[in-house]
Amino acid sequence: MKFFVDTAEIGAIAELNDLGMVDGVTTNPSLIKKSGRDIIEVTKEICDLVDGPVSAEVTATDADTMIAEGRKLVEIAENIAVKVPLTWDGLKACKTLTDDGHMVNVTLCFSANQALLAAKAGATFISPFIGRLDDINLDGMELIEDIRTIYDNYGFETQILAASIRSVNHVLDSARIGADVITAPPAVIKAMVNHPLTDKGLDAFLADIKAAEIKIL
């Protein structure tokens, strides 16, 4: 499974990237705004830092302007994936940009039917939003399962990019189902290392080391 980091904070990306935990990055206007920096400037810096796809989102809602914005965004770097919404205009933009040879991440997916349309339009990635479905008492993981089944049935190459990841359990469940990619905030990825028995075991080791006055250096 590939790990994408859902942030525009350069320091957080760099820390995870140094550990080999970053296969790509997803950004959006809200994350860019939170960083307090210019969208082109920060996106370029992220692209220079990581080798994998960096999703940069259009701000328009009509197809023609989305296409124009997408063509401007891909000038930033070769690893840009243009992020478009799952609307009819977004699918039009996806088809055009894909035909141009660019990666496209179709976002705000909430149904398997939407995911099927995105794959037919040639999307590189489809981003089903797990957490937001959970918020309205629907099972986001059922959506991942449905998309995985449909894509496997017909050999679609569009990668399932599980998004709106809120917890380490979301990551685990996505991996079990077979999502190709997850995108999560740095805090969620770092929380995957935590386990109470690891902490308990480490405390016991440290106590023994102290009692035995063991030193290596």
Residue 145: HSE in the Cβ half-sphere, 13 Å Cα cutoff: 7
C-alpha dihedral over 96, 99, 105, 107, to 10 degrees? Answer: 30
| Dist. CA 136–CA 143, nearest whole Å | 14
Strand 54-57 vs strand 159-162: parallel, antiparallel, or unpaired?
A: unpaired
Q: Which of 34, 44, 83, 95 is catalytic?
A: 83
Whether 190 is a known active-site residue: answer: no
Q: Which residue has the tokens 């969620």?
A: 188
Nearest Cα neighbor of 54 from 10, 86, 91 is 10
Is residue 131 a contact partner of residue 171, using CB atoms and an 8 Å limit?
Answer: no
Which residues participate in catalysis according to the annotation?
Answer: 83
